[in-house]
Structure 1
């Protein structure tokens, strides 16, 4: 005792080591760092994800965790991971490919852990604030790189890409831009014009970047859908009509002044024509070819699929002897989440996937910022997964896990109290 009295730092450390609240704070801090690092690094996200799970262990409430695991919102992602694991048993792919296919599903196991932790934590909004702040900084760097490409950390990066790629960046910016619509509307209703103006400026910065600097076809398709969800849930029909007319006018204005936007939209038709006439490999042509073949693979094994890691081998067999460019391409990902799962795990996997999306959508019923964030994360993932495999992609998959896990935990914490009445603007 006397020795500790002479050394307050070790004594404080010893007390905090035995303090459950201190460990929960540590998990909160790691989760904040995880969200902040997502736009910038893949390796750091992987490391922090493991650290976050480890720091939950010392004072784990097993009984409460088991209650969380029994909920459909946790059972569905766990079942999808287990199916990927068991699917290695009937696959014809090499064992390396089978186990590699299980890896992307492992992040889904973090969802129940986040539900469990943030049902007790008071710092869930810190996580979302950290992600927003990190994306705002990315807007600044993206703009700087657009004017000075030498600043990019990634060699031979596309215009306006500081790190990673335009798909990941488009997902971040489109989500942040539409999420901000809710607090802006609430601040305007409360006549708090200064903070509403600040958030509006941030929203415009995200949209301007996606219109004039880095244009993503996926973002172009999903942003109107996300905005429509916001309007249907939170706005009156007159306001929706006014916003729709204003959006069309702004879109036409953006089209007239943005060569990047014009060029990206023009690729929809030009790439399709190139695919039809076999004039080269294009991203749209590849997707159409991948989907056509994937449907055939699914028809060959409709119930439980061809097994984990079988996709590339099936495409290799389908490309054998083909000379046309699109048909001879071999991939391990058909760029559609449903088909990605259907090939490997059949209708059983598709049912589990849609059950997971459905359970998470139902979780975010009601009004409020947290349900709005969770709802948008799920809706964005569902619609962008028409063109990509975003549950199993690293960046977009972690966006889903963090967004749904943190928001879901926060909602579970407050579900014992009556939900506020749905407001309108």
Structure 2
């Protein structure tokens, strides 16, 4: 389908909406307040631009946009059969309202060819702020906020602005995106700079406490190999061996990495249901049974805490139930399956599939970045509820929508 430019494409409101996406992408890694402000303003400006020029909404018919909107519609409908109390239903609806960000970004980027790449650069700049903050934590030079606007750890528990899971996911993508850019033709100093930048992003992951970051980095490096290398059996074996040696070396020299991995093995093999990974085992057991009980449409929007309540009472017997509520099982597919059944989780994977298919249709740097993003997000969402969490959801939906907009624009121009 051809997507021609309209006379309103250069209008001031639409340009303002596009420009607001840049600081939104920049602020996501380190500021919830700025993230919410810029995304909210971009949404308002988009609605005003859409009123002035309805052709702006043409990409809403593309597969990824439709999947996001259908999933959101199912979330809203799921409130009618939910077993959860009204406040839980409303909270879940607010959580998944973030799905609107993907079609918003698609519509604003599909006829602005340079915007997706600029948004990626602004996002990496925000990740540089996050990574620099972690280095300052190690040096005991990171200031804290007297008003509690941001959190800061210490050398034994290094984090800043975001938790370990969020830091690991964002920086693993940033590191691999920098390495990806270095694989394209360019002069030697710029390639060296991108490689150094990738290491700058990767080091805080390996020296930190977030196991999700380890997985994200591993997945990203392997996806990078699949995207940019000539694949042979021998080369695949050598790459797998090299990555394994890398992580084994980090295990030997990094106390945090070794401690976290040893703790994972201990918790998984123990019967302590109250430990973090023992709790994940309970989530899987209870969640799977809940899906079996209601496989098609699930227990309704926001229902996980009610479904898990009996197990929660058993684990924390004698403790007030309100202190031990668990609203999500640290797995986005499982959370959607419990709430919205196989239809809901099917739409989720259809969304990821639509993004991946567009990324692989015609390859270029932005399309490869989208494929890398889908790989890291898709795998880490298996053991984290990423659409439920604000930072990871806004980060993924905004970048994925922008890069997908680039892909459909190129596809439309070729047809």
CA distance in 2, matches of 1:404, 1:201: 25
The answer to whether structure 1 residue 264 and structure 2 residue 260 are counterparts is yes
- CA 1:416–1:72 in 2, change beyond 3 Å: closer, same or farther? closer
- Asked whether the equivalents of residues 152 and 163 of structure 1 are also in contact (C-alpha less than 8 Å), the reply is no
Moved more, 193-202 or 159-168: 159-168
- Asked whether the equivalents of residues 91 and 306 of structure 1 are also in contact (C-alpha less than 8 Å), the reply is yes
CA distance in 1, matches of 2:12, 2:408: 22
The two structures, once aligned, show a CA RMSD in angstroms of 2.5
* Number of residue pairs matched by the alignment: 394
The answer to whether structure 1 residue 357 and structure 2 residue 352 are counterparts is yes
The answer to whether structure 1 residue 222 and structure 2 residue 212 are counterparts is no
1:239 to partner: Cα distance: 5.3
* Equivalence for 1:389: 385
- Asked whether the equivalents of residues 367 and 403 of structure 2 are also in contact (C-alpha less than 8 Å), the reply is yes
TM-score between both structures, scaled by the size of structure 2: 0.88
CA distance in 2, matches of 1:300, 1:317: 15
* Equivalence for 1:145: 137
* Equivalence for 2:20: 30
* Equivalence for 2:178: 180
- Asked whether the equivalents of residues 64 and 116 of structure 1 are also in contact (C-alpha less than 8 Å), the reply is no
Higher relative contact order (CA 8 A, sep 6+): 2
Deviations 1:370-425 (A, max 9, x none): 11111122122211111111122111111111111110111222224459xxxxxx
* Equivalence for 1:162: 160
- Asked whether the equivalents of residues 151 and 162 of structure 2 are also in contact (C-alpha less than 8 Å), the reply is no
- Asked whether the equivalents of residues 169 and 216 of structure 2 are also in contact (C-alpha less than 8 Å), the reply is no
The answer to whether structure 1 residue 116 and structure 2 residue 107 are counterparts is yes
* Equivalent residue for 2:118, pick from 106, 113, 126: 126
- Asked whether the equivalents of residues 291 and 334 of structure 1 are also in contact (C-alpha less than 8 Å), the reply is yes
CA distance in 2, matches of 1:170, 1:20: 38
TM-score between both structures, scaled by the size of structure 1: 0.86
- Asked whether the equivalents of residues 65 and 103 of structure 2 are also in contact (C-alpha less than 8 Å), the reply is yes
* Equivalence for 2:60: 69
CA distance in 2, matches of 1:347, 1:176: 32
CA distance in 2, matches of 1:64, 1:318: 51
The answer to whether structure 1 residue 367 and structure 2 residue 351 are counterparts is no
The answer to whether structure 1 residue 78 and structure 2 residue 58 are counterparts is no
* Equivalence for 2:81: 90
The answer to whether structure 1 residue 210 and structure 2 residue 187 are counterparts is no
- CA 1:91–1:253 in 2, change beyond 3 Å: closer, same or farther? closer
* Equivalence for 1:304: 297
The answer to whether structure 1 residue 406 and structure 2 residue 402 are counterparts is yes
Larger Rg: 1
* Equivalence for 2:128: 136
1:101 to partner: Cα distance: 0.8
Structure 1, unmatched stretches of 5+, are 1-17, 420-425
Deviations 1:171-193 (A, max 9, x none): 11100111122221113xx5x21
1:245 to partner: Cα distance: 4.0
Any residues of structure 2 matched to 1:231-246 within 5 Å, and which? Answer: 231-236=225-230, 237=232, 240-246=236-242
- CA 1:178–1:272 in 2, change beyond 3 Å: closer, same or farther? same
